[in-house]
Structure 1
Amino acid sequence: MTSRDVILARIRSAVANAPDVEIPRNYQGTGAHREDIVEYFAERVRDYRAVVHTVNAAEVPDALRAALTRRAAEQVVVPEGFPADWLAESTIEDLTTADAVVTTCAVAIAETGTIVLDAGAGMGRRALTLVPDYHLCVVRADQIVPGVPDALARLDPARPLTWISGPSATSDIELNRVEGVHGPRTLEVIISI
């Protein structure tokens, strides 16, 4: 018997006679949607040092090309299912040579400035957004929800979820911020209204 087995046996023994308890999962949402939810989300994302652009839906392709041009990104990873009329899909296999990754998202949270990816169409596998130094994400206005409970209601918990709140960053013991340690150093968001 391993240590793990011993610990689990003790837990099972301790809760063996405990009554079954139904845990309600009806989390309270944030209530009424703010009229300025798009700007509120943009403000929160900017707080994380991300670059944010708000454009009309018809302007998304031009905004994507302009952002990639400003970054001089030539090797761009575009996951399967990304809208072809926005940007052609990429065939780059080696993520270490990619200058950028461009994705969509599953949902975005205004209160926290968080973007959630679920490996669906246009988002690709998790590694796509963790290896390249630059992540360009398109968020549609109808994907922005007020708070985390609202986002959870839209997500499938069985899917692999990646929650992104700004560029990858950490701080050392002296609170010096270091960006790009375990993910993209730069996050740029295009909000399509």
Structure 2
Amino acid sequence: MIFTETELKGAFIIDVKRLEDDRGFFGRSYCANEFKEHGLNINVVQANVSHNKQRGTLRGMHMQQDPFGESKLVRCTRGAIYDVIVDMRSDSATYKQWIGVELTADSFRMLYVPEGFAHGFITLEDNTDVTYQVTQFYTPQAERGYRWDDPAFNIQWPIEPVVISPKDQVHPLLNSEQLV
């Protein structure tokens, strides 16, 4: 695997190192030893899949609060997404900064999202599937959400969302009193 650390410390773009021949290619999409060498959490306890029927479906921005903070390894397995993470670690030099990465089924590219980051994506094609492995079990009382269009982040989404869940539409702004 090829690990490229982003400008947000601890967040990595991970590309599959391909061994190609006439049949296609072989490559690893996960190796505990390689993740450990890069200081990444290897304790995967749950794997999730998200199927999205329509282009422009936005999911986010989600995270779990400590002590249930989770890391995620995100990969698009069908279609394409614009995957976004925001550094929500208040003691970080990149607090409130974000990056976006296009993940497609054809590229096999992945995004490693460390603990303390909010995560969301928008689908760029109809019938898009996303898988993510997480290092904590889903804990409803630790769930936090932030508005996808919060001016505190100023995320530049590549397209306008057309489908957003009612829950994601009502997340508060970062500077509001209550975080959901």
Tell me the TM-score range normalised by the shorter chain.
Answer: under 0.3
Q: Could you say which structure has the larger radius of gyration? A: 1
Q: TM-score, normalised by structure 1?
A: 0.23
Q: TM-score, normalised by structure 2?
A: 0.24
